[in-house]
Amino acid sequence: MEEHKGLRLRPATLEDADRLLRWRNDPETRRRSRRKGPVDPDRHIQWLTAALADEHLRIFIAEEDARPVGTVRAERIEDVWELSWTVAPEARGCGVGSRMVVLLAHQIRGPIRAEMQADHAASARIAEKAGMTYDRTDGEIAHYSRPSADGAVSDFEPGDG
């Protein structure tokens, strides 16, 4: 994967399970998630094992100076890649979220989208920096999207590194 302003993405592995679980169970992350409750460690391992084997799901760890600072994923749903992200609690407020999402979005030639809580201004700014525009709000969820990107670096088809 390429770098963007000192940040690089690498594919997640099972060795990242504890880190991903800690980030997911962080109170602020849970507050902004659709599923608010803590995730059980055994269920998390089952989910991650299946997710890493899923050809329509790509999970990356963002690293800055070889230090993990967040995760971003792309899930292929029909003809659109849906992006979601979590910034490590210790890395929040440093622009990590926008850099990692921009880096991933530039790897995808096809359309992308993201959904977030309508009142989460930081996530909205991240989506916009990644080239997405606001589409609509359904209840408490805001929807952002970007059509196919002509200038993208690669097609980012399942199986690409």
Beta-strand relationship, 57-64 and 3-4: unpaired
For residues 17 and 39, the answer to whether their CB atoms sit within 8 Å is no
What pLDDT sits at residue 160?
Answer: 46
For residues 61 and 10, the answer to whether their CB atoms sit within 8 Å is yes
The 10s digit of each residue's pLDDT in 115-125 is: 999 998 999 99
CA distances from 76 to 7, 58, 73, 129, 144 (A): 24, 9, 10, 21, 16
CA-to-CA distance for 102 and 127, rounded, in angstroms? 8
What pLDDT sits at residue 155?
Answer: 59
- Give the end-to-end CA distance of the chain in Å, rounded to a whole number: 7
Mean pLDDT along residues 58-62 = 97
What domains can you pick out in the chain, each with its CATH number?
A: 3-146 (3.40.630.30)
